[in-house]
Homo-oligomer: A and B are copies of this chain.
Amino acid sequence: MKIVRNTADLRRLVKAAKRRGKKIGFVPTMGALHEGHLSLIRRARQETGWVVVSIFVNPIQFNRSSDLRSYPRALAADARLAASAGANLVFAPSAGEIYPPGFQTYVEVTQLTRRWEGEHRPGHFRGVTTVVAKLFNLVQPDVAYFGQKDAQQARAVRQMIDDLGFDVRLKVLPTVREPGGLAMSSRNALLSPDERRGAKILFESLHEGKRLIQLNLRRGNGILRRMRAVIQKVPSARVEYIAIVDPETLEPVRRVKRPALLLLAARVGKTRLIDCMEVH
């Protein structure tokens, strides 16, 4: 497996792979790879002929500089993990390689990014869609793999692909969870052992919401109240938002229909975590 740092090398290797008739799979990541990422890389390995993993802690998608500074970084370990899961190439550019002096072009998905993460992290999705657009142009993938955990991100990227006509197929794969239910996330490394035990309450809250919807409860507010009550059992956890939304529009629903999507963001100690669950 090769590791490249600059776009010229990346383009050259991508073109060579295309000339050899390879179908290109792409897994964009911010590194600190966990089983969630590895499940994407393995699937890409099964479904395509040449797998690119990008590892880039994208500065413009962080709305708080402390969050950017504390974000876990582990390139050497990441490269080994990516290779073992089947990556053919790791693209690990510097911030200056992606955003050279004078950079000033942004891609923005408007309505779908107004609420939830977009509301609590101003500028976040503009940063995400801008870097994903650039990475698509550099990697020219046939298929791109994203995790369902970042449900709003996956929905926004799908919108961008459709609206701007990227010739990329998007696959969104299920959230990988730890045995207690905590969604795999690079930020989990920032939790203390106690917080980590407490953090599974997010999953339990989502699970309770799903259970109630499957029991045919229909009043969104009633379901959300019971989901909040679950999280209140862990004192170190504070809900930032919790919502039942239409999976297509991400708009909140008062009368719950299926399919529905449950979205949740909470701080556990100082660490901000998000999770979600689909209810069919």
Contacts and interface: CB of A to CB of B under 8 A. Distances in A.
Contacts of A140: 167
A163 B103 contact: yes
A159 interface: yes
Contact of A160 (B11, B105, B159): B105
A165 B134 contact: yes
Nearest to A108: B106
A140 B168 CA distance: 13
Contacts of A104: 109-112, 159, 163
A133 interface: yes
A105 B106 contact: no
A56 interface: no
Given A133-B133, A138-B165, 15 more contacts: A11-B167, A104-B112, A104-B163, A105-B108, A105-B110, A105-B159, A105-B160, A106-B107, A106-B110, A107-B164, A108-B108, A130-B164, A133-B164, A137-B164, A140-B167
